[in-house]
Structure 1
């Protein structure tokens, strides 16, 4: 069983394995009065069948909605565990990256089914007392830490020139996509993620290279948009400018070596 599956099986979110709730026999009312007896203020307590099931949903649509919310809850908790495990080196880079990508994709799918019910991740986490800051940060940017910051565990055996070629190709792919008028969030996000990953693979590149910060800002912006939502003219123009300026900065650095 995979790392992700193990956690998913162990996490209890707002589970809806049953659309009803039942209560054991007990007594209500002041001074030990049971159902139907007098309360502490002298008023009669209505008869309550404590074995009666209370339905949490009234139709299949509500049941599906609660199931989706439970899935969303579980994904967030599992992602938090994965992020903490990665920070503590409890999982390797090769285990972490695909598991993180899978959870991010699952989150996007689950949240797309709840766009009218859960429009804001922060509010959802607050409502269900989810203290998962690492997961929230990872969801916000939409890529694993190995892409955002680079894979420190990988060896740079592919060579300097191959890294340069990958960076140039990734920049060209992103700029060509914009020129073709493909500006939807789900179309641009992968190209910018590729640029960030290839920049992080270039170990000799200065840590304060502006291209990393610019790509990170755009990844966060695109990840907050709906998949089909497109950049407007001003946003497209700004992205074109940022791609061109950071590419020029990279080439200037390369020529200075």
Structure 2
């Protein structure tokens, strides 16, 4: 019935004739430069490093949640990645090209929720929260076993208490002296959260205020300062956290 042979492809009503105007005019053997000068090359390298940091940080967070990495190794690696991320963005040219984390993720199609949260907080999870009860007891048992007498444990604990109290007072003094820049207050807050976590693993009243202000400061540029209203809020919140800390020791 059908005299014609079946075509190996579906025929179309249109035929395509290549146009010379669309033909590639570059030499395919020629090296393509991604940057025209050293500054542009440095920018691309910095953005590539930021991309790599974000991917690595997300994998690290997942490994920590699965207990696939020791706490000490996690803390050291996470802290180094966070510092490298901040150091790259300290350059104004890189910061401008980067934009913000959400726009960068959208541009490069990144799905990294764990890294996003860690970069938002700006601290390793082991610093953000106190060690678990079992881990805390294990450390105390090890310290007691190696101590020459039982009197040393209270002495060490008292040292941490004094250190935490001094950090709170340092923060209050900085605010009173109008030293309100991020690069002044953020390190003090980091020292406060680290110090109180060495003293107690209890989630004492208003402890979350410390972390919340750490997150707020972490979103600011280094030279950016708190407004007078924000400074009063910090002092009020941290006074409440200090009272909560002292209450946890009673």
TM over 0.5: yes
Confirm or deny: 8 A CA contact 1:141 1:223 kept in the other structure: yes
1:213 pairs, out of 202, 205, 208, with 208
How far apart are 1:185 and its partner, in Å?
Answer: 0.5
1:248 pairs, out of 231, 235, 243, with 243
Q: In the TM superposition, what are the counterparts of 1:90-169 in structure 2 within 5 Å?
A: 90-113=68-91, 114-152=94-132, 153-154=135-136, 155-156=139-140, 157=143, 158-159=153-154, 160-169=157-166
**C-alpha distance in 1, partners of 2:103/2:24?**
38
Distance verdict in 2 for CA 1:132–1:67, change over 3 Å: same
Confirm or deny: 8 A CA contact 1:93 1:151 kept in the other structure: no
Confirm or deny: 8 A CA contact 2:131 2:201 kept in the other structure: no
State the number of aligned residues.
Answer: 216
2:23 is equivalent to residue 46 of structure 1: yes
How far apart are 1:200 and its partner, in Å?
Answer: 2.9
The gaps in structure 1 that reach 5 residues or longer are: 1-38
Confirm or deny: 8 A CA contact 2:89 2:95 kept in the other structure: yes
* Per-residue deviation, residues 114-151 of structure 1 (Å, max 9, x unmatched): 11111201111221122222111111111111111123
Partner of residue 53, structure 2: 75
TM-score (norm 1): 0.75
2:225 is equivalent to residue 230 of structure 1: yes
Over the aligned positions, Cα root-mean-square deviation in angstroms equals 2.3
* Per-residue deviation, residues 153-198 of structure 1 (Å, max 9, x unmatched): 3524554544433332221121122223221112111211222223
Tell me the secondary structure at the aligned position of residue 115 of structure 1. helix
**C-alpha distance in 2, partners of 1:210/1:120?**
33
Tell me the secondary structure at the aligned position of residue 54 of structure 1. coil
**C-alpha distance in 2, partners of 1:228/1:124?**
23
**C-alpha distance in 2, partners of 1:138/1:89?**
17
* Per-residue deviation, residues 89-137 of structure 1 (Å, max 9, x unmatched): 2221121212211111110011222111112011112211222221111
**C-alpha distance in 2, partners of 1:47/1:229?**
50
* Per-residue deviation, residues 16-72 of structure 1 (Å, max 9, x unmatched): xxxxxxxxxxxxxxxxxxxxxxx9245334353333333322222211111111111
Tell me the secondary structure at the aligned position of residue 95 of structure 2. coil
Confirm or deny: 8 A CA contact 2:207 2:245 kept in the other structure: no
2:190 is equivalent to residue 193 of structure 1: yes
TM-score (norm 2): 0.77
Higher relative contact order (CA 8 A, sep 6+): 2
Larger relative helix fraction: 2
Partner of residue 34, structure 2: 56
The gaps in structure 2 that reach 5 residues or longer are: 1-14, 144-152
